[in-house]
């Protein structure tokens, strides 16, 4: 995923115990990286892309869930979020009963860069919760973040969306945040996957909701659409700047 992940564990537990849990959570993030790194010759994603067209590849339940989420948001956003580069995930068959993925063509450009960070945060948060951590803040590259419980002291985990000194304007309590942005003079500007049109810049959108995986996907969709995605549920908040 090519970025730095950080964890803050707010519990007042034994530091040795907390360190071991933090290491386990970071290992989960590393495992996500190893699965979805499109630049690695040995990642699961590369294995999928190398697989013979029409052959089914078995994957674990988590990977399957990620693929399903990606497909669902792709369809719900009318292709504004599309890890298949504008093909609306049409070349991807998902068989839930057998937990298999089948690619129907060759040269399919699958890129989960827009969702993998959030997925990794959700997986890491799951590890922390399994070990009864009730207060934690996680982020990947500062653009994807997740808060578990509250900060020591009672408030949600505060995040500033603008200048660092301007104070927090989002408080995450068992919620995730994803920020997507299009900047001026970007040599590789963000494009609408459906039309390949460059997204007007500057544009920035912050999405807050229940999971980091979906927050990542929906913030990308919102950035492309330039408005709140019509099919986004009420549990999600969207703010543009």
Residue 131 found at the interface with another protein (CB under 8 A): yes
Residue 39 found at the interface with another protein (CB under 8 A): yes
Nearer to another protein, 95 or 235 (CB): 95
Nearest approach in angstroms of CB 85 to another protein is: 15
Nearest approach in angstroms of CB 128 to another protein is: 10
Question: Tokens 């580069």 map to which residue?
Answer: 85
Residue 50 found at the interface with another protein (CB under 8 A): yes
Residue 52 found at the interface with another protein (CB under 8 A): yes
Q: What is the DSSP letter of 22?
A: H
Nearest approach in angstroms of CB 42 to another protein is: 5
Residue 130 found at the interface with another protein (CB under 8 A): yes
How far, in Å, CA of 6 to CA of 20, rounded?
15
Nearest approach in angstroms of CB 120 to another protein is: 16
Nearest approach in angstroms of CB 24 to another protein is: 6
Reading the block at residue 98, the tokens are 């057998």
Residue 16 found at the interface with another protein (CB under 8 A): yes
Range 188-192 contact pairs with CB under 8 angstroms and sequence separation of 24 or more: 190/223, 190/224, 192/80, 192/224
Q: What are phi and psi of 32, to 5 degrees?
A: -60, -45
Tell me how many degrees the CA angle 199-158-184 measures, rounded to the nearest 5.
20
Question: Which one among 8, 24, 88, 94 touches another protein, defined by CB under 8 A?
Answer: 24
Q: Are strands 203-209 and 56-58 parallel, antiparallel or unpaired?
A: unpaired
Q: Which stretch binds another protein (CB under 8 A): 40-48, 72-80, 189-197, 203-211?
A: 40-48
Residue 55 found at the interface with another protein (CB under 8 A): yes
Non-local CB neighbours of 141 within 8 Å, separated by 6+ positions: 1, 3, 4, 5, 117
Nearer to another protein, 122 or 205 (CB): 122
Number of residues lying near another protein (CB under 8 A)? 31
How far, in Å, CA of 34 to CA of 7, rounded?
19
């Amino acid at each position: 995923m090519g970025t730095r992940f950080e964890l803050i564990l707010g519990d007042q537990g034994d530091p040795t115990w907390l360190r071991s849990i933090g290491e386990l959570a970071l290992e989960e993030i590393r495992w996500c990286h190893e699965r979805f790194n499109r630049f690695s010759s040995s990642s699961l994603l590369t294995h999928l892309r190398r697989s013979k067209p029409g052959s089914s590849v078995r994957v674990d339940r988590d990977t399957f869930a990620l693929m399903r989420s990606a497909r669902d948001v792709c369809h719900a956003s009318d292709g504004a979020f599309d890890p298949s580069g504008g093909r609306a995930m049409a070349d991807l068959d998902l068989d839930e009963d057998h937990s298999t993925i089948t690619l129907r063509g060759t040269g399919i450009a699958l890129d989960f860069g827009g969702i993998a960070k959030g997925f990794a945060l959700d997986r890491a948060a799951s590890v922390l919760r399994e070990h009864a951590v009730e207060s934690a803040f996680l982020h990947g590259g500062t653009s994807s973040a997740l808060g578990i419980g509250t900060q020591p002291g009672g408030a949600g985990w505060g995040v500033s969306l603008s200048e660092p000194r301007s104070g927090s304007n989002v408080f995450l309590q068992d919620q995730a945040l994803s920020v997507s942005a299009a900047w001026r003079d970007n040599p590789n500007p963000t494009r609408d996957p459906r039309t390949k049109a460059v997204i007007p810049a500057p544009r920035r959108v912050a999405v807050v909701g229940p999971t980091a995986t979906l927050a990542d996907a929906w913030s990308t969709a919102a950035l492309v659409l330039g408005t709140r995605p019509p099919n986004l549920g009420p549990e999600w908040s969207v703010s543009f700047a």
